[in-house]
Amino acid sequence: MTRSTRSLAASGAALVALALVTTADSARGDDTITHPGDHPAYNVEVEPHLLLGWDDVYAEGGWGLGVRFGIPIVDNGFVTTINNSVAISFGGDILHYDNCWYNGPCSANYIDIPVDLQWNFYVARRFTAFGELGLDVYHGFYADCPNGPTCPGRPLGGGIGIEPDIYIGGRYYFNQGIALTLRLGFPAVSFGVSFFP
């Protein structure tokens, strides 16, 4: 990961830590997790977000934009004694990677289409933690690479592939309809705003 990408990832982690610290006092007395089904009902989550791509995907960190949609499929989750739910999370991301100097200056763009199973844990009234596991279908394009497809990482120049997605994340709710969302994992880190219309 490049220095700037590390700085942005560290800033995102610091924001999550700040949110956790500021909600810690209210969460101490909050037993939301022990009340199965005691969470807002929603039909869809819409989450536009910013992305940071890891440098092990394409030899240099990347950045981009995307959107995720979440559709609840199990309201009371896999564990009936805690407040949890399960959703299908899917969407589309566009990532740009620069400065691969493996064999000349190269850059690339990717379209990612993730489809994940998302398990939500309603830890407190204003905070939800989640894990996601699934697959990402991607397509890579060269923006410029004078020496051909020589950069390490995903296939490029028209390359299509499938790779695993794995994420942990959290949401901090301003109200029942809007939350900040951070997702850490592979193939990227995302930070966005979730809307529950």
Residue 159 confidence (pLDDT): 75
What pLDDT is recorded for position 62? 85
- Cα atoms found within 13 Å of the Cα of residue 181, Cβ hemisphere only: 27
The pLDDT, as a whole number, for residue 27 is: 47
DSSP string, 28-86: HT--GGGSTT-S---S-EEEEEEEEE-HHHHSS-EEEEEEEEEEEEETT-S-TTSSEEE
- 4: tokens are 């700037």
Per the DSSP assignment, residues forming a β-bridge with 66 are: 49, 93
Ordered domains of the chain (ranges, CATH) = 3-195 (2.40.160.20)
- What's the CA gap between 27 and 31, in Å, rounded? 8
Contact (Cβ atoms closer than 8 angstroms) between residue 94 and residue 64: yes
pLDDT at residue 194, as a whole number: 98
| pLDDT at residue number 24 | 47
**For each of the chain's 197 residues, which pLDDT tens digit applies?**
444 445 555 555 555 555 555 554 444 558 888 888 888 889 999 999 999 988 766 666 789 999 999 999 998 888 989 999 999 999 999 998 876 655 556 777 889 999 999 999 999 999 999 999 999 999 887 655 655 555 656 655 557 889 899 999 999 999 999 999 999 998 899 999 999 99
* Rounded-to-integer distance, Cα 124 and Cα 39, Å: 10
